[in-house]
């Protein structure tokens, strides 16, 4: 049963405690990465047979497989994928950055170019659940950014097939290449390249502890989006909130993973007990009841705060991945939210809207990292290059200042490089 804690009556350590993953996979992942780096496709085929129980003749998913998958999926699901894709495009189009140029001083031009990465890699899980939504959320921003090639990796089943809903989403999103490889070995393949899998510049997408550790280890050779932890939801709710709705929303994240975190913060003790009771009614009805039960019992909590202002302060300290504001006039509270991955406003906006259809990205910072990081966006798939141009006269106006600054740092060659062009390097 979920625990109820009164803020101010229990230690803050208990209020703000996070469940830390126990898996220690650093050494295993390091070995996998090194094997893939040295042996390429051979290692990938071996890991596929070992972990996925599939003996493949090719790692690549061909057009016939994609067509077969799309035709096997219900037309209604294709329609929903397309609707979701349009919403995601509409939202992320607003994130596009423009290059700029400054030339308001004689002889000086400065600017910044916004350039997409050449190739992005998308990891899509294929274990306990298949997430076609992740395909849309992670590939569409890359396409909007102008990435030339989006490469997707995802594990096959024992028959060597990729889940058809994953391939249907990749088709709708316009993914360029797809490979049947999962786990840490997939991340290694994207980072180093193999005979089949091309090396990418950026790797995005969620995964298990092995995938997260692999992303951490290859960072620096390639860019990554984030090190994602278990799913999180925090609901700030007043006493008018329907406890059935609040319980259902908490369980929408609890069913993801036994390590997931579901938290309710409310100013109503009555609501706290009502939600606690409602969770006990709803959990047994879930297909993933065992997972949800473990999440709620071990990581879930209901925090009773003195008022909604205090509830907002608690939410900011926790900095959740998903934050629901189940209150009247939610926009009155939005400015007070400083740390959250994505905010769902009002009583009719379940977090599931954000997972699938609304448009804002669902790849979000977890484990409190919303205090300093952001949701996946078009920005993740671009880089900036700046440039500077000075005429000789413009340089002459500042060369002495440049040289003076350089000498303060003890870098006399820097100083000379500015002075030599204007004839001021007196030797």
- Residue 139 contacts residue 170 (beta carbons within 8 Å): yes
Give the model's confidence band at 424: pLDDT under 50 very low, under 70 low, under 90 confident, else very high.
confident
Cα 223–339–85 angle (5° rounding)?
Answer: 60
For the entire predicted model, the pTM comes to: 0.93
Instruction: State the catalytic residue, choosing from 322, 324, 351, 362.
Output: 322
With CA atoms as reference, report the closest residue to 97 among 82, 112, 83: 112
Q: Taking the mean position of all CA atoms in its chain, how far away is CA 401?
A: 44
- Residue 133 contacts residue 362 (beta carbons within 8 Å): yes
- C-alpha to C-alpha distance for 235 and 300, rounded to whole angstroms: 12
CA distances from residue 259 to 18, 191, 231, 312 in whole angstroms, order as listed: 10, 28, 8, 24
Q: How many CB atoms lie within 10 A of CB 408?
A: 9
Quote the pLDDT of residue 21: 63
Query: Strands 382-390 and 108-116: what pairing?
Result: antiparallel
Q: Residues with Cβ < 8 Å from 420, sequence gap 6 or more? A: none
- Residue 308 contacts residue 236 (beta carbons within 8 Å): yes
Cα 117–120–122 angle (5° rounding)?
Answer: 155
Quote the pLDDT of residue 128: 56
Specify the DSSP class assigned to residue 260: -
pLDDT digits (tens, 9 = 90+) for 225-263: 998 888 999 999 999 999 999 999 999 999 998 999 999
| Residue for token pair 């309710």 | 264
pLDDT digits (tens, 9 = 90+) for 324-337: 999 999 999 999 99
- How much of the chain exceeds pLDDT 70, in percent? 98
Specify the DSSP class assigned to residue 128: S
pLDDT digits (tens, 9 = 90+) for 117-134: 999 999 999 855 689 999
- C-alpha to C-alpha distance for 134 and 117, rounded to whole angstroms: 20
Quote the pLDDT of residue 47: 97
With CA atoms as reference, report the closest residue to 141 among 113, 173, 178, 172: 173
Give the residue-averaged pLDDT of 201-220: 95
- Residue 48 contacts residue 54 (beta carbons within 8 Å): yes
For the chain, how many residues are written?
427
Quote the pLDDT of residue 22: 60
Query: Strands 119-123 and 149-154: what pairing?
Result: parallel
- Residue 364 contacts residue 205 (beta carbons within 8 Å): no
CA distances from residue 410 to 399, 414, 426, 427 in whole angstroms, order as listed: 16, 9, 18, 17
Q: φ and ψ at 423, to 5 degrees?
A: 75, 20
- And the tokens for 331? 């926009």
Q: DSSP string spanning 394-416?
A: HHHHHHHHHHHHHHHTT-HHHHH
Of 85 and 228, the structure prediction assigns the larger pLDDT to 85
- C-alpha to C-alpha distance for 196 and 57, rounded to whole angstroms: 12
Query: Strands 202-204 and 108-116: what pairing?
Result: unpaired
State yes or no: is 322 an active-site residue.
yes
State yes or no: is 269 an active-site residue.
no
With CA atoms as reference, report the closest residue to 202 among 131, 151, 146, 128: 151
Cα 152–128–87 angle (5° rounding)?
Answer: 50
Quote the pLDDT of residue 252: 97
Give the residue-averaged pLDDT of 289-311: 97
Instruction: State the catalytic residue, choosing from 232, 321, 324, 351.
Output: 321
- Residue 203 contacts residue 22 (beta carbons within 8 Å): no
Give the residue-averaged pLDDT of 23-37: 94
- Residue 113 contacts residue 141 (beta carbons within 8 Å): no
| Residue for token pair 């094997």 | 35
Query: Strands 100-105 and 108-116: what pairing?
Result: antiparallel
pLDDT digits (tens, 9 = 90+) for 151-167: 999 999 999 999 999 99
- pLDDT above 70 (res 94): yes
- C-alpha to C-alpha distance for 183 and 124, rounded to whole angstroms: 10
User: Mean pLDDT, the chain, as a whole number?
Assistant: 95
pLDDT digits (tens, 9 = 90+) for 397-418: 999 999 999 999 999 999 999 9
């Amino acid at each position: 049963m979920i625990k109820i804690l009164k803020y101010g009556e229990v230690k803050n350590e208990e209020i703000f405690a996070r469940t830390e993953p126990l898996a220690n996979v650093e050494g295993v992942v390091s070995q996998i990465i090194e094997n893939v780096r040295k042996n390429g496709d051979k290692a990938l085929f071996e890991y596929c047979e070992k972990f996925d129980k599939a003996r493949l003749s090719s790692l690549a998913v061909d057009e016939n497989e994609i067509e077969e998958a799309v035709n096997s999926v219900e037309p209604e699901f294709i329609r929903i994928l397309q609707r979701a894709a349009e919403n995601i495009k509409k939202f992320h189009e607003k994130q596009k950055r423009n290059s700029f140029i400054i030339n308001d001083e004689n002889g000086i031009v400065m600017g910044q170019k916004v350039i997409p990465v050449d190739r992005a890699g998308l990891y899509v899980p294929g274990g306990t659940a298949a997430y076609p939504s992740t395909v849309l959320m992670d590939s569409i921003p890359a396409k909007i950014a102008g990435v030339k090639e989006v490469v997707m990796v995802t594990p096959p089943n024992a028959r060597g097939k990729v889940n058809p809903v994953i391939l249907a989403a990749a088709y709708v999103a316009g993914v360029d290449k797809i490979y049947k490889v999962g786990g840490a070995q997939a991340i290694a393949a994207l980072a180093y390249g193999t005979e089949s899998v091309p090396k990418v510049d950026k790797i995005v997408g969620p995964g298990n502890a092995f995938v997260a550790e692999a992303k951490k280890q290859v960072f620096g050779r390639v860019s990554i989006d984030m090190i994602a932890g278990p799913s999180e939801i925090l609901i700030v709710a007043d006493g008018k909130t329907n406890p059935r709705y609040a319980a259902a929303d908490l369980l929408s994240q609890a069913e993801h993973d036994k390590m997931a975190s579901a938290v309710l913060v409310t100013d109503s003790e009555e609501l706290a007990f009502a939600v606690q009771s409602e969770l006990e009614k709803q959990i047994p009805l879930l297909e993933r009841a065992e997972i949800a039960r473990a999440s709620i019992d071990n990581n879930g909590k209901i925090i009773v705060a003195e008022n909604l202002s205090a509830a907002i302060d608690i939410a900011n300290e926790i900095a959740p991945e998903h934050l629901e504001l189940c209150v009247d006039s939610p926009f009155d509270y939005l400015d007070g939210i400083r740390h959250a991955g994505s905010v769902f406003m009002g009583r009719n906006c379940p977090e599931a809207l954000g997972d699938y259809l609304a448009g804002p990205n669902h790849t979000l910072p977890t484990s409190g990292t919303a205090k300093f990081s952001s949701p996946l966006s078009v920005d993740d798939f671009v880089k900036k290059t700046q440039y500077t141009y000075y005429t000789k006269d413009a340089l002459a106006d500042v060369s002495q200042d440049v040289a003076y600054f350089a000498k303060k740092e003890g870098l006399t060659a820097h100083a000379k490089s500015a002075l030599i062009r204007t004839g001021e390097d007196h030797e």
